[in-house]
Amino acid sequence: MNLAEIRKYLAEAGVQANKKFSQNFLFNDDVLHRIIDLVPAGKGFYVEIGGGLGSLTEKAVRRGLAPFTVADLDENMLNVLRNRFSDRAYIVFQDGAKIDFSQYYQGTKGYVFGNLPYQVSSLIMMNTCFESRYLDGAVFLLQKEVAQKFAAAPQTRDFGPIAALIRLIGHAECVFTVHAEDFYPAPKVESAVLKVTFNDHGFSREELSSFADTVRMLFSNRRKTLQNVFKINCIDAGILNDFGDITMKRAEELDWETILEINEKIGRRK
């Protein structure tokens, strides 16, 4: 899809990009091909989050990815998607941060992808991780800074709760950068493509949510010492005594094994 086609579909629908949904439509055809080529064939199902005008959707149906569901919250975009793809994909009104992927699971794990709205990308990524029992992986187009944080390693400045959640159940990598001029309208920031691969694991949604709560607490006041973070969150700082002299450290200084052990000890006391 090129810029002229983006403008044509918007004009035919009588709409403009909606700031409420952080709509920035990718029109660089080479980039669109590179993104969809990262999505492996032969999975049990496919879900695109935030179909928009169908730039990625078009590439997916041409590759024959099936069964294929496209989710969006904007009725105007859903009408465009239904007109273009209703014979080749299931078009649904669905919040990407609340999708229950078990409804698509028939014994073979699926794959999710999409150009995510910036303001809800964290919520969508968390829900995708919570539902990862049913998924082999995800490819998301995100704000570059956000993608880098999601792929960050422990004991680095960018490492935080979602990076920890991803690391618990798989791994993530920033594959390539997408420039602002490749979108209409052009955002004020650069974007990046993040690829997440999920391991086979036995964690329930509840267990992953509990882990997310723990790491969110640990990183809730990044500039404060762990002793103060535990005090602020009304958690017994005595837990930290089992790990040597770390009470005056900050969360970003913790190695991965220590984070896992702290989570286990907090879980036992809940």
Domain ranges of the chain: 3-202, 220-269
The reported pLDDT for the residue numbered 270 is: 54
The reported pLDDT for the residue numbered 113 is: 98
What is the rounded distance in angstroms from the CA atom of residue 135 to the CA atom of residue 131? 7
* pLDDT exceeds 60 at position 97: yes
The reported pLDDT for the residue numbered 117 is: 86
% of the chain residues with pLDDT over 90: 80
- Express each pLDDT in 144-184 by its tens digit: 999 999 999 999 999 999 999 999 999 999 999 999 999 99
The reported pLDDT for the residue numbered 104 is: 97
Does the predicted model carry a pTM greater than 0.85?
Answer: yes
Contacts 24+ apart (CB under 8 A), 145-149: 145/189, 146/118, 146/121, 146/122, 147/174, 147/191, 147/192, 147/193, 147/194, 148/174, 148/192
The reported pLDDT for the residue numbered 123 is: 97
- Express each pLDDT in 209-235 by its tens digit: 999 999 999 999 888 999 999 999 998
Q: Which residue has the higher pLDDT, 210 or 236?
A: 210
DSSP assignment string, the chain: --HHHHHHHHHHHT----GGGT--EE--HHHHHHHHHTS-SS-S-EEEE--TTSHHHHHHHHHT--SEEEEES-HHHHHHHHHHHTTTSEEEE--TTS--GGGT-SSS-EEEEEE--GGGHHHHHHHHHHTGGGEEEEEEEEEHHHHHHHTPPTTSTT--HHHHHHHHHEEEEEEEEE-GGGEESPPSS-EEEEEEEEPP----HHHHHHHHHHHHHHTTTTTS-HHHHHHHTT--GGGGGGGSS-TTS-GGG--HHHHHHHHHHHHHH-
> How confident is the prediction for the chain on average, in pLDDT?
93
- Express each pLDDT in 13-31 by its tens digit: 787 777 766 788 999 999 9
What is the rounded distance in angstroms from the CA atom of residue 258 to the CA atom of residue 94? 38
DSSP assignment string, 81-94: HHHHHTTTSEEEE-
The reported pLDDT for the residue numbered 52 is: 93
% of the chain residues with pLDDT over 70: 98
What is the rounded distance in angstroms from the CA atom of residue 137 to the CA atom of residue 130? 12
The reported pLDDT for the residue numbered 268 is: 66
The reported pLDDT for the residue numbered 269 is: 59
The reported pLDDT for the residue numbered 243 is: 86
What is the rounded distance in angstroms from the CA atom of residue 132 to the CA atom of residue 25? 27
3-202 belongs to CATH 3.40.50.150? yes
